[in-house]
């Protein structure tokens, strides 16, 4: 095994983690501020990817598609919040899960009705396509590198938003005591809609970024949603910092596990068996990680409320 391969895999893990962060940030905000379990978050990811693909195919510009993905997902998020989610805040989690699960089905079938069953075409923009030479003679896809940079910038931006702006103060206040913030004369309904739309926009943006290197198809959001839940459970529900650390941890552990475990088992098993055992264990690895974190720190790495 060469160090170039090792570094490449580390970058892959980082990139995967950054993508998960974009998903998990919205999920954890919505849960932290509103106490809502939103299973439909994956549907918003899909909305972003489809909006990007549709606009990019119609105009020929990936960048316009990217703008459209953010706009479409934020709009879908705001509409869903006003029409459905608003009625669920006072309900228990089972009702929330049921209603947002229904939203998954509605979004999936709606998308199929609009765009058909075949996957849509969406490719990496010309500007970012192909590999790039990194120092040390390592070849790495430019697009993935761009995702890492953009994701990092968004993480910093979110931190500044939450820590430094008036909106951020309100969001944090809403997290710790929603009755008090309402009593202070802040329009809590509007705040909730804004937070939900922000989370949706991040999910849609992630969907569009990933859609370009994966497949834009109905149901693409749900596998990512499960990982995003793992991330926020590991990171501590409601904490943006926890989401970032958790996402990068999950990204790197998953990628390195897929890469290292089969070679590890090859030391004492034959090739085929080692691959089978290694890859089976690799797909469980992040859940094992989650279990360990929950044993040591039952509220996650960075619990939001004290």
Partner 1 sequence: MKIKRILTAGLMGLSMGLAATASAEPVKVGMITTLSGGGSGLGIDVRDGFMLAVKQAGNKDLSVVVEDDARKPALAVQIADKMIQSEKVDILTGIIWSNLAMAVVPGAVAQGKIYISPNAGPSQLAGRGCHPNYFNASFQNDILPEGMGAYANKVGLKKTFIMAPNYPAGRDVLNGYKRFYKGELASETYTKLGQTDYAAEIAQIRASGADSVFVFLPGGMGIAFMKQYAQSGVSIPVMGPAFSFDQGILKAVGQAAVGAKNASHWSKDLDFPGNKPFVEAFEKEYGRLPSLYAVQGFDTASLILSAMKKASIKDTDAFRAALKEADFDSPRGKLKFGNNQHLIQTIYVREVIKEGDIYTNKTEGIALENHQDSYAAKCKM
Q: Residues interacting with partner 1, by CB under 8 A?
A: 1-2, 4-5, 8-9, 12-13, 15-16, 109, 112, 117-121, 123-124, 129-131, 139, 141-144, 210, 212-220, 223, 255, 258-259, 262, 271-272, 275-276, 279-280, 282-283
Residue number, 253 or 304, with CB nearest to partner 1: 253
Distances (CA, A) of 139 to 7, 214, 247, 253, 270: 11, 20, 25, 22, 31
288: left (phi over 0), alpha (psi -120 to 50) or beta: alpha
Q: How far is the CB of 298 from partner 1 (least distance, A)?
A: 28
The rounded distance, in Å, linking the Cα atoms of 299 and 105 is 31
CB of residue 230 vs partner 1: minimum separation in angstroms?
14
Smallest separation (angstroms) from partner 1 to the CB of 123: 6
Report yes or no: 207 and 56 within 8 Å, Cβ to Cβ.
no
Q: Pick between residue 165 and residue 263 the one whose CB is nearest to partner 1.
A: 263
For partner 1, the closer CB: 68 or 253 = 253
Q: Which is nearer to partner 1, 146 or 161 (by Cβ)?
A: 146
- Cα separation, 283 vs 201, in Å, equals 29
107 vs 143 by CB, closer to partner 1: 143
Work out how close the CB of 120 gets to partner 1 at its nearest, in angstroms, rounded to a whole number.
6
Question: What is d(CA 300, CA 87) in angstroms, rounded to the nearest whole number?
Answer: 29
Question: Is residue 186 classed as helix, strand or coil in its secondary structure?
Answer: coil
The sign of the torsion formed by the CA atoms of 18, 20, 21, 26 equals positive
- In the three-class reduction of DSSP (H, G, I as helix; E, B as strand; rest coil), residue 195 is classed as helix
DSSP 274-303: HHHHHHHHHHHHHHHHHHHHHHH-TT-SS-
Classify residue 23 as exposed, middle or buried by CB count within 10 Å of its CB (0-12, 13-18, 19+). Answer: buried
Nearer to partner 1, 196 or 259 (CB): 259
How many C-beta atoms lie closer than 10 Å to residue 278's C-beta? Answer: 21
Measured CA to CA, the distance from residue 29 to residue 249 in angstroms comes to 19
Nearer to partner 1, 176 or 266 (CB): 266
Nearest-approach distance from CB 275 to partner 1, in angstroms: 5
Compute the least distance from the CB of residue 102 to partner 1, in Å. Answer: 16
Residue 159: CB minimum distance to partner 1, A: 26
Shortest spacing between CB 56 and partner 1, in angstroms: 12
| Nearer to partner 1 (CB atom), residue 141 or residue 242 | 141
């Amino acid at each position: 095994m060469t160090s170039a391969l090792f570094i490449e895999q580390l970058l892959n893990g980082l990139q995967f983690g950054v993508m998960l962060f974009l998903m998990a940030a919205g999920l954890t905000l919505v849960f932290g501020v509103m106490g809502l379990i939103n299973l439909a978050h994956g549907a918003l990811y899909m909305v972003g990817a489809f909006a990007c693909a549709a606009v990019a195919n119609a105009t020929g510009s990936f960048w316009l598609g990217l703008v459209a993905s953010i706009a479409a997902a934020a709009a879908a998020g705001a509409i869903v919040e006003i029409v459905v989610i608003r009625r669920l805040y006072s309900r228990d989690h089972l009702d929330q899960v049921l209603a947002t699960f229904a939203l998954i089905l509605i979004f999936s079938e709606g998308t199929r009705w609009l765009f058909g069953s075949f996957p849509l075409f969406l490719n990496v923009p010309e500007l970012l396509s192909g590999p790039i030479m990194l120092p040390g003679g390592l070849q790495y896809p430019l697009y993935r590198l761009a995702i890492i940079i953009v994701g990092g910038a968004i993480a910093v931006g979110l931190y500044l938003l939450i820590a430094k702006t008036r909106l951020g103060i309100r969001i944090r206040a809403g997290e710790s005591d929603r009755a008090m913030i309402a009593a202070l004369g802040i329009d809590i309904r509007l705040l909730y809609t804004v937070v939900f739309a922000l989370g949706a926009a991040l999910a849609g943006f992630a969907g569009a970024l990933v859609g370009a290197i994966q497949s834009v198809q109905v149901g693409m959001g749900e596998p990512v949603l499960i990982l995003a839940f793992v991330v926020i459970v590991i990171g501590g529900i409601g904490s943006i910092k926890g989401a970032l650390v958790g996402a990068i941890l999950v990204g790197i552990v998953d990628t390195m596990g897929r890469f290292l475990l089969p070679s590890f088992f090859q030391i004492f098993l034959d090739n085929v068996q080692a691959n089978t055992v290694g890859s089976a264990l690799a797909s469980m690895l992040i859940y094992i990680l989650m279990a360990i974190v929950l044993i040591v720190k039952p509220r996650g790495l960075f619990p939001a409320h004290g």
